[in-house]
């Protein structure tokens, strides 16, 4: 018999909104004491009675970008000109949205003897921000590699925060990469070009040891998944979250 607990809905107030990269905003909502989630999970956000909607309706799924120990519930998104995002981007602080969840199982494995390789494409960084902040906070023993691919530095949300976390967690390595730059730019601390087998091997070594997690736009997720399969990684060791809609 299933013992799954039915997810509950909450009406949560928007308490802050800030730009975290070019065309990218983070939204912080109040977090009720009874709301608990695992780093990597997502919520569904519904705008109650919005001034406008479109074919996709008034709800969207968002990974929770904040870590479980943080006081607020944060999501982050690319601010494209869709009805949902126009409403989200302009709603007054204090407005309530309906939040359902948490959902999903893109959560860090328990067996700390296997490294975790996190592969983020653009705004696909959101579940991984939560995971790596949690790992640092709880001093998890897992070896963690976070590869973070963006076109340009200004597209990369949370870049400096994710980099500085290396000082707090000796088991964590951050590898940002830029895909719209052929050559490294002066001052850029990271890789250039798409994430590929050579780039992974350079940092991870034996590619068959870790468990892999991929999040981002569907095309990027399927491309990286295929690349890992070609490198001999079994599907059982690959977990993905496709951000449908991108
Ligand atoms: C589990 C899960 C977690 C997710 N987590 C996140 C997250 O953390 N952050 C996040 O931003 N998103 C996340 N998403 C995706 C999110 O739910 C939205 O689908 C996404 O943000 C796009 O919403 P939208 O309103 O911009 O476009 P939508 O209105 O949803 O787009 C509908 C369609 O129109 C197309 N479209 C819309 N605008 C444009 C445009 N400007 N150019 C070209 N095509 C366009 C899209 O390709 C899509 O086919 C997640 C999705 C899932 C399933």
Q: Flag whether pLDDT at 176 surpasses 70.
A: yes
Q: At the top level of CATH, which class does the domain 3-103 belong to?
A: mainly beta
Alpha-carbon span 88 to 24, nearest angstrom:
12
Q: Flag whether pLDDT at 105 surpasses 90.
A: yes
Alpha-carbon span 176 to 161, nearest angstrom:
12
Residue 77 in contact with ligand 1 by CB distance below 6 A: yes
Between 28-42, 123-137, 149-163, 182-196, the lowest mean confidence (pLDDT) is in 182-196
Average pLDDT of the chain? 94
Alpha-carbon span 169 to 178, nearest angstrom:
24
Distance of CA 52 to the CA centre of its chain: 27
Domains 3-103 and 116-242 equal at CATH topology level? no
Give me the pLDDT at residue 1, please.
Answer: 41
Q: Flag whether pLDDT at 7 surpasses 70.
A: no
Residue 126 in contact with ligand 1 by CB distance below 6 A: yes
More confidently predicted of 181 and 65: 65
Q: Flag whether pLDDT at 6 surpasses 80.
A: no
Q: Distance from the CA of 243 to the center of ligand 1, in angstroms?
A: 7
- The model's pLDDT over 123-163, given as tens digits with 9 standing for 90+, comes to 999 999 999 999 999 999 999 999 999 999 999 999 999 99
Cis before 102 (ω within 30): yes
Q: Distance from the CA of 130 to the center of ligand 1, in angstroms?
A: 20
Q: Distance from the CA of 133 to the center of ligand 1, in angstroms?
A: 25
Residue 18 in contact with ligand 1 by CB distance below 6 A: no
Q: Which residue ranges make up each domain of the chain? A: 3-103, 116-242
Name which residue sits closest to atom 9 of ligand 1, judged by CA. Answer: 77
pLDDT-derived band at 50 (thresholds 50, 70, 90) equals: confident
Name which residue sits closest to atom 34 of ligand 1, judged by CA. Answer: 245
pLDDT-derived band at 168 (thresholds 50, 70, 90) equals: very high
Alpha-carbon span 150 to 125, nearest angstrom:
10
Q: At the top level of CATH, which class does the domain 116-242 belong to?
A: alpha beta
Q: Are 106 and 241 in contact (CB under 8 A)?
A: yes
Give me the pLDDT at residue 2, please.
Answer: 44
Residue 128 in contact with ligand 1 by CB distance below 6 A: no
Q: Distance from the CA of 246 to the center of ligand 1, in angstroms?
A: 5
More confidently predicted of 186 and 114: 114
Give me the pLDDT at residue 8, please.
Answer: 60
């Amino acid at each position: 018999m299933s013992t799954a607990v039915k997810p509950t809905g909450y009406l949560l107030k928007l308490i802050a909104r800030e730009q975290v990269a070019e065309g990218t905003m983070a939204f912080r909502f109040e977090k009720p004491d009874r709301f608990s989630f695992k780093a990597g999970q997502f919520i569904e956000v519904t705008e109650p009675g919005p001034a406008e909607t479109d074919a996709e309706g008034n709800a969207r799924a968002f990974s929770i970008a904040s870590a479980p120990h943080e006081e607020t519930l944060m999501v982050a998104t690319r601010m494209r000109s869709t009805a949902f995002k126009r409403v989200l981007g302009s709603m007054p602080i204090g407005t309530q949205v309906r939040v359902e969840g948490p959902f999903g199982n893109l959560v860090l494995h328990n067996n700390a003897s296997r490294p975790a390789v996190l592969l983020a494409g653009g705004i696909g960084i959101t579940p991984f921000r939560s995971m790596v902040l949690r790992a640092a906070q709880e001093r998890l023993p897992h070896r963690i590699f976070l590869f973070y691919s963006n076109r340009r530095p200004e597209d990369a949300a949370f870049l400096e925060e994710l980099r500085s976390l290396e000082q707090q967690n000796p088991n964590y390595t951050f590898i940002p990469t830029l895909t719209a730059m052929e050559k490294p730019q002066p001052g850029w601390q990271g890789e250039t070009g798409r994430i590929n087998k050579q780039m992974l091997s350079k940092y991870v070594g034996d590619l068959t040891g870790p468990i892999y997690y991929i999040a981002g736009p569907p095309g990027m997720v399927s491309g990286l998944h295929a690349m890992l399969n070609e490198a001999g990684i079994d599907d059982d060791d690959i977990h993905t979250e496709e951000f449908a809609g991108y």
